[in-house]
Structure 1
Amino acid sequence: MRKTLLTFLFTFLAFSQIWAQNKPTGIAAKVAGMQKFSGYFPFYWDEATGRILLEIDKLDQPFLYVSSLAAGLGSNDIGLDRGQLGGEHVVYFQKVGPKVLLIEPNQRYRAMNGNPAEEQAVAQSFAQSALWGFKVEATEGDRVLVDATEFLLRDAHDVVGSIRRSRQGSYRLDPSRSVMYLPRTRNFPQNSEFETTLTFVGGEDAGGFVRSVTPSAQAITLRQHHSFIQLPDKNYTPRPMDPRAGYFGIEYMDFSTPVDQPIIKRYIARHRLQKKHPAAPVSEAVKPIVYYVDHAAPEPIRTALLEGARWWAQAFEAAGYKNAFQVEILPADADPMDVRYNVIQWVHRSTRGWSYGASVTDPRTGEIIKGHVSLGSLRVRQDFLIAEGLLAPYEEGKPANPEMMKMALARLRQLSAHELGHTLGIMHNYAASVSNRASVMDYPHPSVKLTASGQLDLSDAYAVGIGEWDKLAVAYGYQHFPSGTDEQAKLDQLLREGYQRGLQFISDRDARAPGGAHPQAHLWDNGPNAADELNHVLAIRKKALERFGENNIKPGVPMALLEDLLVPIYNYHRYQVEAAAKVVGGLNYTYASRGDGQLVTALVPEAEQQQALDALLATLQPQVLALPERIIAAIPPRPAGWSPTRELFDKRTGLTFDPLAAAEASADFTLSFLFHPERAARLVELKARGSKLGLDEVLDKIIDQTWNAKRASGLEGQTQLLTQQLVLTHLMALSQDENAAYSVRGTALLHLNQLEKHAKKLAKSSDEGVKANALLALNRLLKPVEAKPQLHKDLPPGAPIGSMAPIGCE
């Protein structure tokens, strides 16, 4: 028995020694039994613990890290949309003892001359960022294994901050309800993709925007995505930015630059595109640019998105490429967040909102790695609604007018092309509408015509195809020149020739400012002359209102919903008002460079300013502002179950429709531009430089056509009195505005003094309405500091709803 036991013991010890010698060690031991995902950075899924273990086999090698939002909140106002990209970070893993740090060098400050000492000096002068610290779990040679779970399950997209900044509640990430999302966690040779399900809890102070889009405001569950991406090779050549070309881009300070050269370097953002045969006039590309349309978009929308996006092929063909730009349907098993796919994504929200074109860009060079378009699905419905308001198409016994759907799909094609243009690197061009619709990168207003028989014609509401500016922009950004070409000279020649053909480029800052001065840079306008177009859209508006009634809605629809269609028709002229206002006190200019022959600055001719002022004052006339009785009588309060929305007119009458509040908002809109302190300051300046139209003359004319106008009766008379009070508010506010020039405030005070004398005369009128209005004005004049235009009623939103940053959006 003892011998048997000894034999067993020796055998066991021998086998134990052999097992110990062959026992898995290091990384292999740590990941034994786990599911391996081979690819760019190998990683392992531990089903038992819900962990992701990341194998780092590229220490100290830079790569691109991008976080994004795969499944969103659905609120325009908060802005956490499905498919929303985060920022790009060039990072690398650095091992120090038992830790691995994820380091992001500072790309904004560089030394690019290849001198290591200068590079080190710059690196040590500016902070870098350690984005995360990982504990080493195992090592094997030059490979390191870390637990990446906590890194991946954090709030990388700052959902908590977005909700807090929107004042929609205080939330925190709940780790107990946050897990990996394995269906979209994948690995590929040049990119590793991770997706997580994150739950944010709290919500005791949740706002209405959160409550409207969540099953329970106490728990918001979203999905975030992380991408580790291999950086492009060094064969890409950055293209310098030119202010005349209209591109987004990158910029950084290069401290190795000679003193007599600009230290700030700027390069455009663009995809890599090269001709197979650079010397050939037309050549296929080495690698074409391919975009994919979301297969979730239904027909006929999907086809419209495809058609609009494919317009850009025209621009690349004009630049000498063959089949270099392609658009297909996204494969059913593809992930839109996968960096390998340029996508046009169909995004749903609770209310209509901005669409936008974003991209993943190499911060080192400006090379676009992934284009990502997000199109709000409710936008097409808004265009259909506008067409319903214009056409009154539901006449009993007749089929619905097909022009409504045609117009809505035409707009969708244009929107698809517009947002895709941003992902090619191209900025907005708001001066394109004056040059025969020269760019899809403008914001288009429907171009509706009046036929000889007085009918509204929507057949040419939106342009078809790429414009001449778009072709010029693509040529500047993507033209591939043969070796030995003076590329900079060729690019400059392209821009000069474009200007000589009448192509202009003016972008967001100049077009969006309420006090803007450029007479040709506007959002959602048409035509070469802002005043002429304002008169035209007023005629379209008048015709649409003349036929407005129950035929604007389908049989069986609550009559109260007529208000939904009335809003965009009553305010149909709103954008052209803004365009015309910029002509008054306007200054024409371009982004000229020395010696390029472009206009530098030029004052807008007085006659053109006067024409614009007259057109603007027409929008304040009682017959324009007052709605006819038949429309007012046709709109009852909304029935139970149809709650009012912010898309409707604001009211002072409770539940009932308020035509005077609608008039108040419209008149106030016009006056807010005319009384803008920046415009007022320019008008004072122009008068000092010899113009006959200064701030005095503008204020005189406004007062003459409101306070001094012939008394109207009925609702028009009440609208007239209301407009007089609005003028008074703006005049008092301008006199008290500490940001306004002294000369502006003084001029406003002078006109207030004159208006006070006039009001004292009107206070003696036998007309009770006129007398009451004058007494109110005199009372308000006692406290001019209390004049606040923001207390007036506002127009319902015309532009997409939400706080999305407009640059790169529409």
Structure 2
Amino acid sequence: MIPWLTTLSVCTVFLYNILLGSNYLALTQGVNFYLQQLNTLPIIENLSSAENIFKESKFNDLQRFSEVIRETDKLEGLFTIYRSLEDDRIYLEIASEQLNKNYLGTVTLDSGIGESGIYSGLALQDFLFYFRRVNNRIHFVIRNVNFRATSETPEHKALTRSFSDSVLYSVPIVSVSSQRKSLLINLNDLLIQDFAGLTPLLKSSLFADYELAENKSYFGEVNSFPENIEINSIYNFSANQGANLITVPDSRALTLKVHYSFSQLPENNGYIPRLADERVGYFITAYQDLSNYNTTESFVRYINRWHLEPSVNDAPLSPPKKPIVFWIENAVPLEYRDAIREGVLMWNKAFEKAGFLNAIQVRQMPENADWHPADVRYNTIRWFNSIDAFFAKAPTRVNPLTGEILDADIIVDANMVRSLQPEYRSLIAANSNQINQLLSSNHQGFCKVPNPKTSDDRCYGIESSLQAAIGATAISMMPNSALDDEKMQEYVHQYLRSLIAHEVGHALGLRHNFHGSTMLAPAELNNPEITHSKGLVSSVMDYLPVNLAPQGTAQGDYFPATIGPYDEWAIMYGYKPSNFESIGEIIPEAEKPFLEQIVGSSKQPELAYATDEDIWDINPNANVWDMSNDVLVYSQWQMDNARLMWQKLDKHYPVKGESYSQLRTVFDKILIYYFRNANLIADYIGGQSFRRNYALDVNNWAFVPTDLAKQREALASLNEYIFAEDAFNFSPQLLNQLAPSRWNHWGNPVPISRLDYPIHDRIYRLQSTILRSLLEGDRLHRLLDIELKTLLGEALTIPELFDTLQNSIWTEVLGKEELKSISSIRRSLQREHLEILLEMVLRKTDVPEDGRTLAWYELKQLQKAISAKLKKSGEQLDIYTTAHLEEISDRITKTLNASLLSR
């Protein structure tokens, strides 16, 4: 989400401090009284009451109400709006009872520029606000919902003095009507300024100082409905020296359209907030209950979910009174609408387990629809174009008091599918900077997971698109090297359907589950009888790679065709009606026993849950872009597939009449895929599993170290696929055909660096990234700790890791065979390994002291071996090898003899 203004919070009052176990009357006293307390306001001093506003003489000097609204069009609804089309003035009428009352505001970027993070359909802000009158002005105030206390208690008095609301804007009152008991403000004063916070957004995204030109900004369509008002503002920005934008004709000026929805907050609608549980992955609405001193936890957490009620009480399966309806925007291409529809409806399987029939419906937005896709009354799936976005996302608008989801709009960048069509063999321009960024990242890999606080959907989108492109490339390399149109259409259909199902899961309140891909054994992944019934994965809320079958195995589903067991279970937790609802209205705590019955199943392997903040750890069982319950086997399959694709490129590409630049792009794409899977294997070293289960028995641990045999197998695999001398064998013919694009125009600049393919640099960066991740301080500290957490002889030790790597990287020196010439790729790898050990000895990196002393020991052993080999080989070696080894020996000597100053 664009992180300009997250939901700002302000003081509100919440009456609730009845513990489970109180008498039945307390448990069933009702939601109505509970919701009434949500609108209780903190004390505001020195302000006239609403009744007195219309009696004060100071307002006599204001314009007469009738004069102000003369020759305007009147729009009645939640707020009455008066619009003068002649001079583009819009007045908002605020009734006395609407002052100090909670409303929900949502702000959407309706039109963008198609690059650099400024994209159509992005959700900019959502907040709870109220209008407050102070003298002759109206304050637009964001309400604080993070802290609450029981009304009319000492804690509430302290609350109102401890935390502040946020007064975002102050506008003058234009006129007051004592007869109508209402007042007017000019919406131009509020919304024809940078209300949406676009100026800082443009500065952070475009690195240019754009300023709002108010004289060029104006209102577009404006509507007022019984429960909401919808307003479009068109903003023009200018800069003396604008950003170098590709998509804008003149970068000194650009236009953005923002859609505002101000809506009634649901009250007394029977919605019951549902308590969150950390074993089930929902987005949550949390606040601190400052009245509660009786528990160790002062936070109250509700899951974010829609308000679903069965139309037939006590029926095992009932249609909801009001289903969740998604509208496919009329801008979505016709050929993709069926896949989108299927991806949405995939979730009805889960809702049936929760007792709802056809809980989700899909409708097509008419071509001549008289409503806007950003209208808060409609949940839409929108399509937009960009030159660099590559993402889909599903922002929701939530009642910040209860967690009730009120609106959701899924947006999909056309780039996610456009480049998968047969006429394209490349997805993204894999230029040098992009590859270098990937291959020089840390052990977690490029775009491992969005930051939980500032979710990077673009990062996810690039990886998702890469995975889809690899699948399309694999299809193109089937026998005869010809694309089958029908097969490609089915592939795109599977991909888009899975993508939409993932985003709809977010729209239903679900967070990522990065355990989702580990349900099936590798041998089961391409068995349709299993994947179409149980599912390919336990949850579509994972970041899922394309499922490519290994050589010799019939290809199954590339992407999930159904949601998984975890998805069904999570929806049951969030949406299944509790048995208390047949009795009457309840308070949230009364559902605890009912919810515990559901979440008690979390120990089942297919219900494992790990989300964004869980996977920064080294955990081979909870990761992104992995597949199966044995990632070690699966990743080896995929690297074998990558090698096969390279062989096909060597023998059959480029196709006659095709540019060499497409061959280069595909080669790089496969290299990224190869690295991605090698990186997953590295997570076995020092890895451990972590489950969010609660303590159940003595054998149920929170952490379980990765099996020693698996770690040793992972090291052997990395040696074979990454560090071995023959790991990367490309023919001169292939390397000499990897030419860059020579088109030079907007959107496709010609590289100014070397034109030929930098093969040494690419391989070095891949090997260096993996090697440094294996020897980084965090991993070494983990290995040292695990020795204390396992029985003797069951842990991979730092000495074994160091010895294994040194013996595989320095085979020419440490092996028994006669020393021969060392290839240039091996020399680069050996220098990098040496550099890592030297940095440890010289205390340039944060590693355990045992790691530093072992590095010193390994260097000593290496120096002895080099000296012996050089002495034995005499002058038989080539000058490359001789110079390489003598320089290595000299560096070791100087480092070991260095006199380090004490700290």
User: Does TM, scored on the shorter chain, surpass 0.5?
Assistant: yes
Alpha-carbon deviation of 1:474?
0.5
Alpha-carbon deviation of 1:553?
5.8
What is the distance in 2 between the residues matched to 1:106 and 1:213? Answer: 39
Q: Which moved more, 1:456-465 or 1:148-157?
A: 456-465
What is the distance in 1 between the residues matched to 2:715 and 2:312? Answer: 56
Compared CA separation, residues 131 and 637, structure 1 to 2 (3 A): closer
| 1:622 aligned residue | 725
Aligned partner of 1:414: which letter? S
| 2:56 aligned residue | none
| 1:287 aligned residue | 322
Alpha-carbon deviation of 1:261?
4.5
What is the distance in 2 between the residues matched to 1:41 and 1:715? Answer: 83
Q: Which of the residues 19, 22, 45 maps onto 2:83?
A: 45
What is the distance in 2 between the residues matched to 1:346 and 1:784? Answer: 59
Aligned partner of 2:878: which letter? D
What is the distance in 1 between the residues matched to 2:112 and 2:547? Answer: 35
Alpha-carbon deviation of 1:442?
0.7
- 1:590-631 per-residue CA deviation (whole Å, 9 max, x = no partner) reads 112244896422222211221222222223223233323332
- What runs of 5+ residues in structure 2 fail to find an aligned partner? 1-61, 420-426, 428-464, 521-536, 583-589, 897-903
Q: Which of the residues 491, 494, 515 maps onto 2:595?
A: 491
Compared CA separation, residues 47 and 777, structure 1 to 2 (3 A): farther
Compared CA separation, residues 450 and 261, structure 1 to 2 (3 A): closer
Q: Does 1:149 align with 2:184?
A: no
| 1:20 aligned residue | none
| 1:4 aligned residue | none
Q: Does 1:93 align with 2:134?
A: no
What is the distance in 1 between the residues matched to 2:77 and 2:890? Answer: 76
SS of the equivalent of 1:283 reads coil
**Aligned residues of 1:671 and 1:727 also touching (Cα < 8 A):** yes
Alpha-carbon deviation of 1:656?
0.8
Q: Does 1:272 align with 2:311?
A: no
Q: Which of the residues 666, 678, 683 maps onto 1:577?
A: 678
Alpha-carbon deviation of 1:759?
5.4
What is the distance in 2 between the residues matched to 1:197 and 1:782? Answer: 69
Compared CA separation, residues 193 and 712, structure 1 to 2 (3 A): farther
What is the distance in 2 between the residues matched to 1:643 and 1:104? Answer: 43
Q: Which of the residues 114, 121, 144 maps onto 1:83?
A: 121
| 2:507 aligned residue | 423
Alpha-carbon deviation of 1:548?
1.6
**Aligned residues of 1:203 and 1:217 also touching (Cα < 8 A):** no
Compared CA separation, residues 594 and 396, structure 1 to 2 (3 A): closer
SS of the equivalent of 2:683 reads helix
Q: Does 1:705 align with 2:739?
A: no
What is the distance in 1 between the residues matched to 2:310 and 2:822? Answer: 66
- 1:521-561 per-residue CA deviation (whole Å, 9 max, x = no partner) reads 11011111121112111221122222124855665331221
What is the distance in 1 between the residues matched to 2:847 and 2:89? Answer: 60
| 2:829 aligned residue | 723
What is the distance in 1 between the residues matched to 2:235 and 2:888? Answer: 57
What is the distance in 2 between the residues matched to 1:496 and 1:645? Answer: 55
Q: Does 1:751 align with 2:858?
A: yes
Alpha-carbon deviation of 1:283?
0.8
- 1:107-140 per-residue CA deviation (whole Å, 9 max, x = no partner) reads 11111x3335533321221111111111010011
The equivalences for 1:79-478 within 5 A come to 79-111=117-149, 113-115=150-152, 117-141=154-178, 142-166=181-205, 168-182=207-221, 185-202=222-239, 204=241, 206=243, 208=244, 211-234=245-268, 235-332=270-367, 333=369, 334-380=371-417, 381=419, 382=427, 385-393=469-477, 400=484, 402-436=486-520, 437-452=537-552, 458-478=555-575
How many residues were matched structurally? Answer: 745
How does the TM-score come out when normalised to structure 1?
Answer: 0.86
SS of the equivalent of 1:322 reads coil
Alpha-carbon deviation of 1:643?
9.1
Compared CA separation, residues 100 and 692, structure 1 to 2 (3 A): closer
- 1:142-185 per-residue CA deviation (whole Å, 9 max, x = no partner) reads 21101121321222333322333346222221212221123xx2
Alpha-carbon deviation of 1:774?
3.1
Q: Which of the residues 636, 651, 657 maps onto 1:535?
A: 636
What is the distance in 1 between the residues matched to 2:745 and 2:810? Answer: 40
The two structures, once aligned, show a CA RMSD in angstroms of 3.1
What is the distance in 1 between the residues matched to 2:894 and 2:507? Answer: 52
SS of the equivalent of 2:738 reads coil
Compared CA separation, residues 310 and 502, structure 1 to 2 (3 A): closer
**Aligned residues of 2:639 and 2:677 also touching (Cα < 8 A):** no
What is the distance in 2 between the residues matched to 1:755 and 1:168? Answer: 50
Q: Does 1:72 align with 2:112?
A: yes
SS of the equivalent of 2:811 reads coil
**Aligned residues of 1:50 and 1:180 also touching (Cα < 8 A):** yes
- What runs of 5+ residues in structure 1 fail to find an aligned partner? 1-23, 786-810
**Aligned residues of 1:549 and 1:562 also touching (Cα < 8 A):** no
What is the distance in 1 between the residues matched to 2:160 and 2:505? Answer: 35
Q: Which moved more, 1:38-47 or 1:722-731?
A: 722-731
What is the distance in 2 between the residues matched to 1:205 and 1:289? Answer: 43
**Aligned residues of 2:285 and 2:403 also touching (Cα < 8 A):** yes
| 1:696 aligned residue | 799
What is the distance in 2 between the residues matched to 1:575 and 1:284? Answer: 44
SS of the equivalent of 1:198 reads strand
How does the TM-score come out when normalised to structure 2?
Answer: 0.77
**Aligned residues of 2:242 and 2:251 also touching (Cα < 8 A):** no
**Aligned residues of 1:52 and 1:148 also touching (Cα < 8 A):** yes
What is the distance in 2 between the residues matched to 1:564 and 1:105? Answer: 51
Compared CA separation, residues 569 and 669, structure 1 to 2 (3 A): same
Aligned partner of 1:357: which letter? A
What is the distance in 2 between the residues matched to 1:394 and 1:551? Answer: 11
Alpha-carbon deviation of 1:660?
1.7
**Aligned residues of 1:241 and 1:268 also touching (Cα < 8 A):** yes
Compared CA separation, residues 310 and 484, structure 1 to 2 (3 A): closer
| 1:770 aligned residue | 881
Aligned partner of 1:59: which letter? L
**Aligned residues of 1:90 and 1:363 also touching (Cα < 8 A):** yes
Q: Which moved more, 1:487-496 or 1:59-68?
A: 487-496
SS of the equivalent of 1:585 reads coil
What is the distance in 2 between the residues matched to 1:418 and 1:124? Answer: 43
What is the distance in 1 between the residues matched to 2:543 and 2:256? Answer: 32
Alpha-carbon deviation of 1:707?
2.1
What is the distance in 2 between the residues matched to 1:481 and 1:303? Answer: 35
Compared CA separation, residues 100 and 637, structure 1 to 2 (3 A): closer
What is the distance in 1 between the residues matched to 2:309 and 2:859? Answer: 65
Alpha-carbon deviation of 1:277?
2.6
The equivalences for 1:47-62 within 5 A come to 47-57=85-95, 58-62=98-102
SS of the equivalent of 2:673 reads coil
